[in-house]
Structure 1
Amino acid sequence: MRQGANTPWAAGYRSGGLRSQGGQDSRRDPARDQEQLPGHQPPRPEPDSSGLPPAQHQQSLQAAVSKAEVKPMDKGEENAASEEKAHFLMENRRSGTEEYLPELEKKEKETKCVTRNIQWTTGNNFTVERGRQQIEEAVSTWEVHESWLHWSEFLQEEELKYSKRYHYRVCWSMPTRRKPIPRATASVYFVIEVSKIKPATLPVEVFFTLESSELIHRPEQCQFREKWLKDIIENKIILMERLTF
């Protein structure tokens, strides 16, 4: 047997390391030993795309930022910036308006669709008095204030090549207790057209126009507005006040 084979130092070496008297592992770290070798140099950080180490590159950037000066804008640049800002605001408002317009048009279409119409008589059953009665029936469906009063009358018959037209007038006014005789009235002119070439079993065609207006309305496609009557009367009163006799 070789000398020292059973000594505690040998047992500790076989177990994988040296232990000190306090029980701590006294094995050496190869990396630490390499750092302690004479002439050993630690690895340097790799430079970035600027060619400088990261620390120096960051310092150079901070120095450049600290030395940078903010150049004031002249009047031309200020005007260009203000115009760009105004253009941006107008585009935002325009986009908001474009988004809102379809909803507004949809609401207007829904309002226009809420119209009440009557079943008009056929061509073979039409008479002048029957036409006036049906005009009264159609007018009763209009949403106007109860203070409005009206009366209707037949005006004339018009002979055409392919049809006959019957003209009526409905006169509107708003008398009061202080002024039972109204200062002005508003007229709505109806035309009932009876075709000569279409089957007599089809309904007659009806349309109306407002006084001092050439726009043609159809009862089944138009919702009558009380404001139309007010505008006609107000315009007449303004005209009478301006005239001197």
Structure 2
Amino acid sequence: APPSLDAGVASSPGRPIRVGLLIDAFAPVDPDVAATVLASAEALKSLGITVEPVRIPVLEQINALELLWKLQVMETKPAFRKVTAGHEDKIFKHVQGVYDTPDTSIADFVDAEQKAEQLRDGFAGYFQQYDALLCPVTTVPAHAHDAAEFNIDGQSVSSLHVMTATAPLNVTGLPGLSLRFGTSREGLPVGVQLVAPWMAESTVLHLASLLEAVSPVRGLHPDLSAI
């Protein structure tokens, strides 16, 4: 049989699974989001999964969102210019933000790549002790498409802040999965995120299937009567 490239639970079914819970590293986080992530942690615990709060020091030392932006400006701006030529009136604000950001210098690009390696090393150390990471997927519930900023617990942040918990995955190439597990006080969807080591997609798929089976929003469908 061909060798398996799966480094996740599918390669050793039935073994204990350890999950780290991380919320504060992405602060500020909307209270409804934090509560939903905590509820998903309790749900996994009730299913026999070990879940405990963790710290990943490298996330406190390196701003992954700032890093992602520097890399994105260097790597995507030329491609964006090419595909949006002649359609400047239809450019989405995220792309416009890339255009409005000064070009990343070679020195800054090299520094960003080195910091990305440090992030990978930090996660590699974390995953020597844990099988997965449970955290927010966005720091606010579902939001307006054109939002420019958010107020989270009295703190005003740029709309880019919603990517705080996903930027580390984009930079390091870690596999992640998001699923809805709650609803905000305004009735908007709230998701959680599961992250696993490289080549361990089966771990996040397994944990997500467990959460989906006990999700408080399982079977919930949009009300189409107002459409």
TM over 0.5: no
Bigger RCO of structures 1 and 2 (CA < 8 A, at least 6 apart): 2
What TM-score results when the alignment is normalised by the length of structure 1?
0.21
Larger radius of gyration: 1
Q: Which has the higher helix share?
A: 2
